[in-house]
Structure 1
Amino acid sequence: MIVENMMKTDVITLQPSATIAEALHLLQKHRIRHIPIVDDQGQVVGIVSDRDVRDASPSIFDKDTNQVQLNHKIESIMSHPVITVHPLDFVEEIAKIFYDEAFACVPVVKNNKLVGIITEKDLLYTLIQLTGTHVQSSHIEVKVPDRPGILPEVAAYFGKRKINIVSVLIYPYDDDQHYKTLVFRVQTMNPLPVIADLINAGFELIWPQENQGIL
């Protein structure tokens, strides 16, 4: 999946000359956590978060505090330069940026202009879709040797039972480079017959197992 398929295109923005008070108003009105700061050409020059605005605002517990801080320009507290992504970037690459940089939001830019925004929540929702957990299904994990053709070999057992595969994930098995873990989400509420097929074929199941009280 690419960023273009999951990004929000209706983005609330401000220019650097806007005040902190304006940013606070927009954050509260639209219940958002980030506002990209753009120039007259629509290019991203900074970004502010609700935390940035909160830290720059007077304390609600100090009645004697002057509200002049809210009249400061937003450019005085915005983060810059800003890491951006392209609409055709792959979601998994963006997830790595979020993890490495500890970001909660990234602007999406095309031809040097802001065209969208992607947040942690968007990534989590996409993960739900990619893993198939948004539909009723059964979860099966199989330990397999790391060799060409192993995925269609295992998937064929679901085909023989006419079971639809919702999603497939592949990841390393512990630290053993000779094996992989195949994670299937399949549309059947009774996976026991296909599980028996896999076991009879000599495959080792990671989930479910007899000691887990499911088989």
Structure 2
Amino acid sequence: MHVEEIMNRNVITLQPNDTISKAHQVLVENKIRHIPIVDDDFFVVGIVSDRDVRDALPSKLSNEKTTNILDREIATIMSSPVLTAHPLDFVEEVARIFYDQEIACLPVISNEKLVGVITEKDLLYTLIQLTGTHVQGSHIEVKVPHKPGILPEVASVFGKRKVNISSVLVYPYRNDPQYKILVFRAQTMNPLPIIRDLREAGYELMWPNNIPEPRV
């Protein structure tokens, strides 16, 4: 999945010479947390967050007036230079940037101009879509050997029961490279037949693991 599929194209922007007061107003009125700062050619020159605005305000112990602070230009508090993404970047790669850099928003740039933004909320929503948790169904985790062909082998058990798979995720098994955990989201409210089939085929279930073995 590419960034362009989940980014917000309706971006609210300000310019470096706009005031901190205006930034605060835009953040509050639009219920957003970040504002890309652009020049006349729509090149991104900085970014301002609600935290930047809060941090700019004087403390109660300061003698400086709040009105003086709010009249300053955004350029005095914006973060620059700015990390950016491209519309054709993969979402999972961008998610790694969010994690490594501890950020919550990335402007999306194409031909050096701003075309959208992607936020941590967009990434969380995408995770919900990818894991299939927005679709009613059952969650099944299977421990398998880490070898070629194991995924279609296990998935065939679902196919024999005519059960659709909403999503499949692959996780490492603790620190053991010889095994993986396959996480299936299946479109059924009665997973018992599949669970029995998986156990009869010799697979170890990590979840659910509290359902009795089938009676002989």
TM range (shorter): over 0.9
Q: Could you state the TM-score of these two structures normalised by the residue count of structure 1?
A: 0.95
1:175 aligns with 2:175: yes
Q: Could you state the TM-score of these two structures normalised by the residue count of structure 2?
A: 0.94
Comparing 50-59 with 160-169, greater Cα deviation is found at 50-59
- 2:132, 2:166 within 8 Å by CA — same for their partners in 1? yes
What is aligned with 1:127? 127
- 2:57, 2:66 within 8 Å by CA — same for their partners in 1? no
Structure 1: which 4+ aligned runs deviate by more than 3 Å?
58-64, 212-215
Q: Distance in 2 between matches of 1:214 and 1:169?
A: 25
What is aligned with 2:162? 162
What is aligned with 2:9? 9
- Helix, strand or coil at the partner of 1:129: helix
- Amino acid in the other structure paired with 1:121: K
Instruction: Name the count of aligned residue pairs.
Output: 214
Q: Distance in 1 between matches of 2:31 and 2:213?
A: 43
- Helix, strand or coil at the partner of 1:183: strand
What is aligned with 1:51? 51
Q: CA deviation at 1:57?
A: 2.7
What is aligned with 1:96? 96
Q: Distance in 1 between matches of 2:123 and 2:92?
A: 9
Q: 1:11-90 maps to which residues of 2 (within 5 A)? A: 11-58=11-58, 65-90=65-90
RMSD: 1.9
What is aligned with 1:200? 200
Q: CA deviation at 1:87?
A: 0.5
Identity among equivalent pairs (%): 65
The C-alpha deviation readout for 1:72-120, integer Å capped at 9, x for no partner, is 1100000010000001111100110000000011110001000000111
- Amino acid in the other structure paired with 1:28: V
Q: Distance in 2 between matches of 1:133 and 1:179?
A: 25
- Helix, strand or coil at the partner of 1:10: coil
Q: 1:139-154 maps to which residues of 2 (within 5 A)? A: 139-154=139-154
1:115 aligns with 2:115: yes
